[in-house]
């Protein structure tokens, strides 16, 4: 019988009561060192962990024995982690899955939750954050900010992010954004909108 081990400082009222026999956990991440560390950390918290390094391995694990919990990276070498969440929810609707990603944005968070993810965490997330998200009775819903970013600011930040990911190459950024090079240069020359 596996014991439900709590972190020191965790309030009992803030975590879900899960029967010890239901402490099965699937972790899907293609970053092997991270997967190994997280597997050990979750095993030390009482989980029976099944690690997987790809969407294919994750789907196979879900079909073999759907776990009560899952921690799934959004972007994997062979596809999207949301496929694993969808399959898990189809096979075991009472499961609780957390999506991890280094590419956090509102659209992917909404998609993840619609497909059945219980919560969404941006990388780097440590084992304590992940454990607390898995065991929370409900996930914290973000409140509407007092002064949300304008659409122009969101667009500008997206362009800046793509520009940086393209190594500050204007031509490559323009191609990826399906934008004329001169238009992009004008946008990059301006100050950030509020």
In terms of pLDDT, which residue wins out, 113 or 83? Answer: 83
In a domain, 7, yes or no: no
Work out the number of other CB atoms within 10 angstroms of the CB of residue 12.
Answer: 7
The reported pLDDT for the residue numbered 21 is: 58
Averaged pLDDT of the chain? 79
**With 50 as the cut, is the pLDDT of residue 4 above it?**
no
In a domain, 97, yes or no: yes
In terms of pLDDT, which residue wins out, 99 or 4? Answer: 99
**With 90 as the cut, is the pLDDT of residue 8 above it?**
no
The average pLDDT across 107-120 equals: 70
Alpha carbon 4 to chain centroid, angstroms: 24
In terms of pLDDT, which residue wins out, 67 or 2? Answer: 67
6 is written with which tokens? 């709590």
Cα separation, 125 vs 26, whole angstroms = 17
Q: What are the C-alpha distances in Å from 120 to residues 141, 181, 184?
A: 11, 35, 32
The reported pLDDT for the residue numbered 136 is: 78
Q: Is the dihedral of CA 126, 130, 136, 139 positive or negative?
A: positive
- Cα 27–28–34 angle (5° rounding)? 80
**With 80 as the cut, is the pLDDT of residue 118 above it?**
no
Lowest mean pLDDT among 2-16, 22-36, 132-146: 2-16
Residues 48 and 128 in one domain: yes
The reported pLDDT for the residue numbered 26 is: 94
The closest alpha carbon to 59, from 83, 24, 35, 89, belongs to 83
Q: Is 10 exposed, middle or buried (0-12, 13-18, 19+ CB in 10 A)?
A: middle
Residues 122 and 161 in one domain: no
In terms of pLDDT, which residue wins out, 22 or 139? Answer: 22
Q: Is 44 exposed, middle or buried (0-12, 13-18, 19+ CB in 10 A)?
A: exposed
Residues 128 and 161 in one domain: no
Tens digit of each residue's pLDDT (9 = 90 or more) over 31-83 = 899 999 999 999 999 899 999 999 999 999 999 999 999 999 888 888 888 88
Residues 129 and 155 in one domain: no
Long-range contacts at 118-124 (CB < 8 A, ≥ 24 apart): 123/73
Q: How many domains does the chain have?
A: 2
In a domain, 194, yes or no: no
Q: Three-state SS for 52?
A: strand
CATH number of the domain at 171, please.
Answer: 1.10.10
Q: What residues make up the domain containing 157?
A: 151-189
In terms of pLDDT, which residue wins out, 190 or 101? Answer: 190
Tens digit of each residue's pLDDT (9 = 90 or more) over 141-171 = 444 456 666 777 778 888 888 888 888 899 9
Q: Is 101 exposed, middle or buried (0-12, 13-18, 19+ CB in 10 A)?
A: buried
Going by pLDDT thresholds of 50, 70 and 90, the confidence category of residue 108 is: low
């Amino acid at each position: 019988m596996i014991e439900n081990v709590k972190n020191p400082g965790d309030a009992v009222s803030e975590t879900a009561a899960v029967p010890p026999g239901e402490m099965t956990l699937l972790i899907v991440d293609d970053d092997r060192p991270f997967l190994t560390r997280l597997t050990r950390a979750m095993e030390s918290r009482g989980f029976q962990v099944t690690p997987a390094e790809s969407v294919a391995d994750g789907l196979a694990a879900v079909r073999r024995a759907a776990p009560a919990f899952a921690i799934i990276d959004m972007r994997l070498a062979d596809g999207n982690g949301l496929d694993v969440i969808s399959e898990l929810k189809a096979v075991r609707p009472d499961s609780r899955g957390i999506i991890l990603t280094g590419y956090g944005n509102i659209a992917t968070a909404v998609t993840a939750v619609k497909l059945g993810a219980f919560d969404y965490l941006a990388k780097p997330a440590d084992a304590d954050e992940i454990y607390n998200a898995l065991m929370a009775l409900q996930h914290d819903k973000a409140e509407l900010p007092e002064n949300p970013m304008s659409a122009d600011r969101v667009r500008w930040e997206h362009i800046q992010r793509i520009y940086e990911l393209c190594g500050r190459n204007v031509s490559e950024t323009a191609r990826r954004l399906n934008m004329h090079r001169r238009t992009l240069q004008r946008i990059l020359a301006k100050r950030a909108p509020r």
